[in-house]
Structure 1
Amino acid sequence: MKKSLIVLGIAAGLVGLAQAENTTTLYGAIGASTSMKDGLTHEEGSYSQKTVKDIIGDKDDKKDNKNLIKDVKDTWDENIWDLNTSPAKFGIKGTEDLSNGLQAFYKMEFGFDPDEGVNSTRYAYIGLKGDFGTLTLGKSNALYGDLTTYNDIFENGFFDENAHYGNLTKKTRVAKQIRYDSPDMSGMHFGIAGILDGSHNVVETSDSKSFVGFQTGLWYEQNGLYASVAYSNLDGDYQNCLDHGKDKKECSGFTKGSTEVIGANVGYENDQFRIGLGAEHAASLGEKYNLAGAYYMGPNTFRAGFAVSDSDDFNRVISNQGTVGKGETAYTYALGYQYNFSKRTFTYIDGTYIDYSDNKVADDGYLINVGLRHDF
């Protein structure tokens, strides 16, 4: 009997050891929110950029600029109520301990739509981690996005193009990326990333046969203090788009001139509160600033944010003749509240108000979200 118990104990220990060396986790999140918006388009990370064709169909859009802008403003969303399923994602991630302190890791994550089913690949990468740092290959977080989104603390509405150069820097996730992150050096880190896309699936208008983008950054993170600076430069500017035979409307989403962007964040967080400040400059467009904070009180979290977009890319109308109406300064105000039922389930309400400086292209508007979310 004693021998049997010893054998079982050894077997259990071996199983535990195997589990420690190899991990595979199924995870995901599902949420639903009721939204009410007025005056905002809020389409995929941008509040205010629509094409005239999307709005007025096949009507002649070679009108004077004033009438074009009026057509767009007349069709702006007003008092729209929706029930949205967001987030809706699931994935598998895992690690394997190798020899000499080396560890392999991977992650595959997918988004799904209630009507269409699985409709996007959010992450697909594999990598190695050790004393040398971390090497990640595949679709993973954009380095620039990681280092400049400290104030992305709301569930919906605040931290979009009005506060951050996401579209110009491939947003938060980028495919075909080779990324290196240094090990922790007393809180200091540096990183470098390149997009190896000679087939031009990620940046369609690039002429490069190899790397089509480059990002790098330096950051400090220790004892609640965070500070970072990051740089991004991607191929595919406005003129390059025209050189590929596309018309002005098709190229209106591209930056005229340099695609270089530099950003910096500084912040502090402890058990009671957090606060952060961010600033970004695009060489050919202008500046964006964001300030946000949160206060924690038991299961309650209170949030507030403010952003300024003084950039030529924000709030434009696009026609066959290219961009109509130069971007105007936009001020964004946000308030939010979250109640945690548990570590995995919470409810929230976020409100965002955007104020345009002169209302030449768009009227002021707001977006309110009330939602419930569960992570597993």
Structure 2
Amino acid sequence: MDNKLLKVGLVACALVPAMALAQQDITSELDASVRFGLGLNTEPDTDLSVRNYSSRIRWAGSADVDENLKIVSYLELGLDQDSGVDNTRHGWLGVTGDFGTVTAGKQYDAFYDAVTSKVDVAYWDSCNFEIGCERISSTLKYASVESDGLQFMGSALLLDGDDEVLNGFDLGAKFSSGELELGVGVSYLNERIVQDENNLILGTVDDGFAIGASAAIDLGGSTASATLQFADEDYAIERDGVYGATLTYSTDQYYGLFTAINGDNRTPFSITGGYVMPIIQDRALVYIEVGLRDDDVEGQSTDFNARSVLVFNFGKISGG
């Protein structure tokens, strides 16, 4: 019996340090955020309602493979006030190391990271017309390590269940020097089927491309940014190519942006302004946001929208 106890003790002494090391190599964070508010829209009909503004559950994890290689993952689920968990906002898995970071799953593409992200500053009424604002499933993305202020990125769209090997790709680059950051990007989509909002097939469009550039400057307590973008008629699914521009200005508590596009004999635009009011540090805050949007469609008036959203963050639960 004593011999058996000695063996068990030796095994336990060997396992405890190994388990402690393993726990240090693995991290996990879980948090949730409930976001409800009062919203007003005037088009197509005047509507005032209490809404769920993207309440969510988030989980982030990582595991060290060795000193220079780490597995990373992120999952963010959207919550509906009636049906519960109703969509996946983000969901990707990847590896990061000295070579950069490779991720696969539902995520923003490289064009967004390089160009559009600089002007996506509003809480809700943002990214109305810009390129790359959707988080797309089946996206494979690479981002290099930043070196001397320069970073490269690329992504490929590899959709399941079709006869295309590559459905599209994006290439981008960012350069930062002092208070200034610049970004450029190009996006390409293969020939694809076009559907309406009821998933009825309307036809197909040929291969299309888009290009864009952006700039952001830290003004000391505030940031100003701008982007110029162009999409040809097949990428934009319009009769003509589309040009777009966005200007933004933001501080820790205030933000404003103006966006306009021109194409197909129309010039839609949107204007948004917002204020962030902290209540309990980062745990609870209120967003107050107002905006105008005009789609330049005959017979349709300019939409005025406003919202006041209370955000409560439950706080992170960490493990490892």
Secondary structure of 1:186's counterpart equals coil
Identify the residue that residue 203 of structure 1 maps to in structure 2. Answer: none
Alignment counterpart, residue 345 of structure 1, candidates 284, 289, 298? 284
Map of 1:296-375 to 2, 5 A cutoff? 296=252, 301-312=253-264, 328-341=266-279, 342-355=281-294, 360-375=298-313
Whether 1:174 aligns to 2:125 is no
Question: How far apart are residue 258 of structure 1 and its match?
Answer: 4.2
Secondary structure of 1:348's counterpart equals strand
Q: Distance in 2 between matches of 1:295 and 1:233?
A: 34
Map of 1:116-265 to 2, 5 A cutoff? 116-147=83-114, 148-161=116-129, 164-165=130-131, 169=132, 171-200=133-162, 207-208=163-164, 210-221=165-176, 223-237=178-192, 240-241=193-194, 250-251=201-202, 256-265=205-214
Q: Distance in 1 between matches of 2:18 and 2:181?
A: 41
CA contact (8 A) 2:261 2:267 kept: yes
Change in CA separation of 1:223 and 1:20 when aligned onto 2, cut-off 3 Å: farther
Change in CA separation of 1:18 and 1:249 when aligned onto 2, cut-off 3 Å: closer
Aligned pairs, number: 289
CA contact (8 A) 2:271 2:293 kept: yes
CA contact (8 A) 1:31 1:371 kept: yes
| Counterpart code for 1:145 | Y
CA contact (8 A) 1:197 1:212 kept: yes
Q: Distance in 1 between matches of 2:251 and 2:291?
A: 18
Question: How far apart are residue 259 of structure 1 and its match?
Answer: 2.4
Change in CA separation of 1:222 and 1:33 when aligned onto 2, cut-off 3 Å: farther
CA contact (8 A) 2:191 2:206 kept: no
Q: Distance in 2 between matches of 1:14 and 1:270?
A: 49
Secondary structure of 2:208's counterpart equals coil
What do the CA deviations read for 1:335-363 (whole angstroms, capped 9, x no partner)?
11111221232112111112455x52421
Change in CA separation of 1:361 and 1:149 when aligned onto 2, cut-off 3 Å: farther
Map of 1:26-41 to 2, 5 A cutoff? 26-39=30-43
> Structure 1 length as normaliser, TM-score?
0.70
| Counterpart code for 2:201 | E
Q: Distance in 2 between matches of 1:334 and 1:344?
A: 25
Query: Relative to total residues, which structure has the larger strand share, 1 or 2?
Result: 2
Question: How far apart are residue 292 of structure 1 and its match?
Answer: 0.7
Map of 1:11-160 to 2, 5 A cutoff? 18-39=22-43, 76-77=44-45, 79-147=46-114, 148-160=116-128
Identity %: 20
> Structure 2 length as normaliser, TM-score?
0.81
Secondary structure of 1:370's counterpart equals strand
CA contact (8 A) 1:146 1:172 kept: no
Change in CA separation of 1:188 and 1:361 when aligned onto 2, cut-off 3 Å: farther
Q: Distance in 2 between matches of 1:80 and 1:156?
A: 17
Q: Distance in 2 between matches of 1:221 and 1:33?
A: 37
Q: Give structure 1 stretches of 5+ with no counterpart.
A: 1-10, 40-75, 201-206, 243-247, 313-326
| Counterpart code for 2:93 | I
Q: Give structure 2 stretches of 5+ with no counterpart.
A: 1-14, 234-240, 316-320
| Counterpart code for 2:149 | G
